[in-house]
Amino acid sequence: MKVTPEHNARIAKMKFFSVYPHYITKVEKKGRTKQELHQVIEWLTGFDEGKLQDLINQQVTFETFFQKAALNPNAHLIKGVICGYRIEEIDNELTRQVRYLDKLVDELARGRKMEKILREEKK
């Protein structure tokens, strides 16, 4: 599917705090924990639990959420299809970053090993 400008605008204006409970429900329903979700979010964005809670309390949009993030340098390794979109083909940076997060949450819920989700190098 091709990402439209309207889709990008809708993603930018979505509130992170309104989607966050769905992330928790999705991972917990599959036997994963809120702590694992936070670990994944921190890996991608650099936000620890305190900063994450601040952003939730401020009811920031995804646009603000990712403007404040220090995106992991290995985020570009997140590939595949999520919500019908091939991540590596999304040309809008913000939409791609939101889909990175969606993909990580999906991988967590599917039971993928944490070191695979966090794209850790083999030593």
Q: Is residue 116 part of a domain?
A: no
51: CATH:
1.10.8.290
Q: Is residue 94 part of a domain?
A: yes
At 25-62, the pLDDT tens digits run 999 999 999 999 999 999 999 999 999 999 999 999 99
Q: Is residue 117 part of a domain?
A: no
Position 2 pLDDT exceeds 80: no
Q: Is residue 66 part of a domain?
A: yes
The letter for the amino acid at 49 is E
Range of the domain at 100: 5-111
Q: Is residue 119 part of a domain?
A: no
CB atoms under 10 Å from CB of 93, counted, come to 11
Q: What is the pTM of this model?
A: 0.93
Helical (H) or strand (E) element with 85: strand 85-86
| Separation of alpha carbons 93 and 27, rounded Å | 25
Nearest to 70 by CA among 49, 99, 41: 41
Mean pLDDT of 93-99: 96
How many independent structural domains does the chain possess?
1
